[in-house]
Amino acid sequence: MILTSFMIASLYFCSNAPGEGGTRTAEGKFCDPKAPAAAHKTLPFNTILNVCLGKRCLAIKINDRGPFIRGRDLDLTVGAARQLGMVHRGVAKVRVSTPLPIPRPVDANGNMVAEYVP
């Protein structure tokens, strides 16, 4: 079973040059701008999402926290945005799917968030 939803994705720029003050992800690794990766506020690190824009689809890995702009759900690396064809747009509504079970969300400190049980 697959869960599908729509999200607003934007792209973010990062550097992977450690000697030049490269950008580190929330995971603590240097960001690779060519990697198919993204930032999300609550999904656990290493969650794999299938992100589609039109007929272009790409498997991405959550490796950072963000975006921190209201109304946006995913920050994609330039490499991921390029493969989806959204570099010039900057922001796009994308279709996102993930195989079940859905990973449990985490807070800003990486702690699991309690599930709501009615």
What's the whole-model pTM score?
0.78
Separation CA 18–CA 2 (nearest Å): 38
Residue 75: CB atoms within 10 A of its CB come to 24
Is residue 76 within 8 A of residue 38, CB to CB? The reply is: yes
Per-residue pLDDT for the chain (118 aa), expressed as one digit of tens each?
A: 567 899 999 998 887 665 565 688 888 888 888 899 999 999 888 889 999 999 999 999 999 999 999 999 999 999 999 999 999 999 999 999 986 555 566 666 666 565 433 3
Domain range 2-99, CATH architecture: Beta Barrel (2.40)
62 closest CA partner among 22, 92, 35: 35
pLDDT value of residue 31: 85
81 closest CA partner among 30, 39, 18: 39
pLDDT value of residue 66: 93
